[in-house]
Structure 1
Amino acid sequence: MKIALAGDHAGFRLKEEIKKQLEQMGYETIDFGPFSEESCDLPDFVYPAALAVSKNEVDRGIFIDGVGYGSALIANKIYGVYAAIAQDPFVASLARSHSNTNVLCLGGKVIGSAIANEIVKTWMNTNYLSNDKKYVNRVNKIIDINNKHLKK
């Protein structure tokens, strides 16, 4: 499985830690940047990473900025990208199991690396409840909204 990583200067250190974690878990990572803590603009990195998710060039994405919201705002404007912000493993689990998200957004200024590692592990290892009609119906409604308002 290929995972796109992206963020900004505020998420750089945590992105580097998560990259190592993912690779130790056996995942291939594609790092869209940034590649230092030098001040930068979030869209320059999250936008191309989100496009890679949309085009199925990668399987999922993990985007890390200061608080996570900027990454989610950008990512959710791209067709076929379903991003959620998680501050703890419980939220990460529900984002995958109930909503079938394909992008996880984290805040490098909000959470430390220990909790971030648990969030990533939980999100990566949680399956979508595709056999539960309630969640399938809900996700299908989200996909319908995506298809109605976003361009491929």
Structure 2
Amino acid sequence: MKIAMANDHAGYALKEEIKGYLESQGHEVIDFGTHNEEACDLPDYIYPATMAVAEGKADRGIFVDGVGYGSAMIANKVYGIYAAVCQDPFCASLAREHSDTNVLCIGGKIIGSAIAMETVKTWMTTDPITDVEKYTRRVNKVKEISEKHLKKLSEI
């Protein structure tokens, strides 16, 4: 699977650790940076990584910033992106099972490496629930909101 990764200075170290894990599992990582811990502007890295997922150049995205919310706010402004902030494996499981998220956002200042790695492992290996009507109905309602309020990439 191709995974777009991006981070700001606060998420750099954890992103590097997650990247190593993903590559060791046979995934191709497309790293949009930043590539150091110097202060930077989060949108400069998250937006291009988000576009890679939206355009199908990556299957999923994993973004790491200070708390995760900045990345999610940016990513969720793009059509076809369903980003969730997950700070533990339980939330990661639900984000995939119940919401079919395609972008995971993690706060490098919020959780430690061990929990972050378990969160990524869970999110990467959990499939959405597609055989229970209430979950598919809810996911479809979110997609309907996107259809109503966000422009498709082909319309930009």
| Rounded Cα–Cα distance in structure 2 between residues aligned with 1:64 and 1:113 | 12
Equivalent position amino acid for 2:35 in 1: F
C-alpha deviation, 1:131, in angstroms:
1.2
Unaligned runs of 5+ in 2: none
- TM-score in terms of structure 1 length: 0.99
**Aligned twin of 2:49:** 49
Matches within 5 A, 1:2-151: 2-151=2-151
| Rounded Cα–Cα distance in structure 2 between residues aligned with 1:132 and 1:73 | 28
Across the aligned residues of Structure 1 and Structure 2, the Cα RMSD in angstroms comes to 0.5
Deviation track 1:93-146 (CA, whole Å, cap 9, x = no partner) reads 000000000000000000111100000000000000011111100000000101
Q: Percent identity?
A: 66
SS in 1 for 2:137: helix
Deviation track 1:65-107 (CA, whole Å, cap 9, x = no partner) reads 0000000000000000000000100000000000000000000
SS in 2 for 1:95: helix
- TM-score in terms of structure 2 length: 0.96
Structure 1 runs of 4+ off > 4 angstroms?
Answer: none
The number of equivalent residue pairs is 152
